[in-house]
């Protein structure tokens, strides 16, 4: 399998989701900031998901949107938080970097049944700030 990598601007993708849902283009989500210096080498949490497809980008776009909806709806919380910490959680702020999309493409030498199968994996690094009740 041959791998290709593409960088997707997370801020632009979030804006597209908001616009597609009737919000103005300048709408912002207060608990999400974009910082391209947050990378896969520098994060607190990361969202990783994959999908197999035959070249139809809509399946990949849906996976990306599903991952971003976790952030938009403030559902990404570390599994390392205790029940007491979760109960005391007041708010969450995310700082996101760019999405890395890795496609695994079949090569001519691969078995014929793999020729129409592309595996796309998305990686989204996230810095998380938990705000607790005092």
Q: What is the pLDDT of residue 115?
A: 65
> Which ranges of the chain have pLDDT less than 70?
110, 112-115
Q: What is the pLDDT of residue 113?
A: 63
| pLDDT tens digits for range 97-116 | 999 999 998 777 767 666 67
Judged by phi (left if over 0) then psi (alpha if -120 to 50, else beta), residue 81 lies in beta
DSSP secondary structure string, the chain?
A: -EEEEEEE-HHHHHHHHHHHTT--TT---TTEEE-TT-BTTB-SEEEEEEEEESS-HHHHHHHHHHHHHHHHTT----TTS-HHHHHTEEEEEEEE--EEEEEEE--TTS-GGGTT-EEEEEEEEEEEEEEE--
Measured CA to CA, the distance from residue 13 to residue 15 in angstroms comes to 5
| Cα separation of the two ends of the chain | 52
Q: Which domain holds residue 112?
A: 2-132
Tokens 């809509």: give the residue.
58
How many domains does the structure of the chain reveal? 1
C-alpha of 31 from chain center: 15
Q: What is the pLDDT of residue 46?
A: 94
Q: What is the pLDDT of residue 2?
A: 87
């Amino acid at each position: 399998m041959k791998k290709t990598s593409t960088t997707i601007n997370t801020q632009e993708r979030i804006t597209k989701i908001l616009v597609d849902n009737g919000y103005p283009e300048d709408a912002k989500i207060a608990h999400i900031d974009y910082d391209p210096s947050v990378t896969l080498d520098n994060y607190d949490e990361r969202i990783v998901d994959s999908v197999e497809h035959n070249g139809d980008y809509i399946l990949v776009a849906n996976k990306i949107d599903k991952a971003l909806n976790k952030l938009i709806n403030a559902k990404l919380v570390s599994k390392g938080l205790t029940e007491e910490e979760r109960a005391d959680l007041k708010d969450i702020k995310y700082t996101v970097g760019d999405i890395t999309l890795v496609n695994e493409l079949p090569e001519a030498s691969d078995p014929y049944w793999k020729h129409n199968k592309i595996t796309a994996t998305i990686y989204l690094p996230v810095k998380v700030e938990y705000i607790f009740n005092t």
